Amino acid sequence: MKVACYLRISTGLQSLANQRAILEKYVSDKGWTCDYYEEIESSRKTRPIKAAMLHNLRNHEYDGVVVTRLDRFARSSRELILDVDEILKKNIFFISVIDNLDFSTASGKLHFHLMCAFAEFERSLIADRVSQSLQRLKSEGKN
């Protein structure tokens, strides 16, 4: 198996060493080969290393993606759901080592769908609150 290992830190003051050690051990224990994608000083909108990895995944260069934790892969639940859903639809597995999640297994798929349901529920609640606030402001004669 050949996998893509994605590591991310937010600033250059942090280190990828802990993430790399965890991923190296996990991949070695499985007997897989891995290409490392190391994102340093990533902002919310620009993550060129992740974009390159996703491009390579779309070209089926890897059997799976391995990360240390879900929050290292995505900055929001929406981003996580969209990216992981795309990966899984291409029959590429996704594993988060520390979170002990493997979205290719039956229980992992259930966990992923529950996360999706909660994210959708949260979006609906936010939309309801915004709508209620706009209605209140309108009734008070405010724009």
pLDDT in tens, 81-134: 889 999 999 999 999 999 889 998 888 888 878 877 777 777 788 888 888 888
* Count of structural domains, the chain: 1
Q: What is the mean pLDDT of residues 13-28?
A: 93
Q: What does pTM read for this prediction?
A: 0.79
Cα–Cα distance for residue pair 37/3, rounded to 1 Å: 11
Instruction: State which residues form the domain around 82.
Output: 2-103
Query: In this structure, what CATH number is given to the domain that contains residue 13?
Result: 3.40.50.1390
Is 135 within the bounds of a domain? no
10 is a catalytic site residue: yes
Is 109 within the bounds of a domain? no
Is 140 within the bounds of a domain? no
Of the residues 10, 42, 77, 104, which is catalytic?
10
At 53, the pLDDT band (50, 70, 90 cuts) reads very high
Is 89 within the bounds of a domain? yes
